[in-house]
Amino acid sequence: MTGADEPPPTEPSSQFFSRRPTPARSFRLRSQSLNSVRLRRVFDLFDHNSDGEITIDELSLALDRLGLGADLDEISSIVAAHISPGRSGLDYLDFEGLHRALGESLFAAAEEAAEEETDMEEAFRVFDEDGDGFISAEELQVVLKKLGLPEAGSFSRVNDMICSVDRNQDGRVDFIEFKHMMRGISVIN
Residue 145 confidence class, pLDDT cut points 50, 70, 90: confident
Q: Please state the length of the chain.
A: 189
129 touches 143 (CB < 8 A): yes
Q: Which pLDDT value is given to residue 103?
A: 66
Check residues 98 and 23 and name the one with the higher pLDDT: 98
Q: What is the rounded distance in angstroms from the CA atom of residue 57 to the CA atom of residue 75? A: 10
For the ranges 3-17, 18-32, 50-64, 106-120, the lowest mean pLDDT is seen at 18-32
Q: What is the rounded distance in angstroms from the CA atom of residue 151 to the CA atom of residue 130? A: 21
For the ranges 29-33, 49-53, 76-80, 111-115, the lowest mean pLDDT is seen at 29-33
Q: What domains appear along the chain, each with residue ranges and CATH number?
A: 12-20+29-114 (1.10.238.10), 128-183 (1.10.238.10)
Phi, psi values for residue 134, rounded to 5°: -140, 155
Averaged confidence pLDDT in the chain: 76
139 touches 155 (CB < 8 A): no
For the whole prediction, is pTM greater than 0.75? no
State mean pLDDT over 135-144: 91
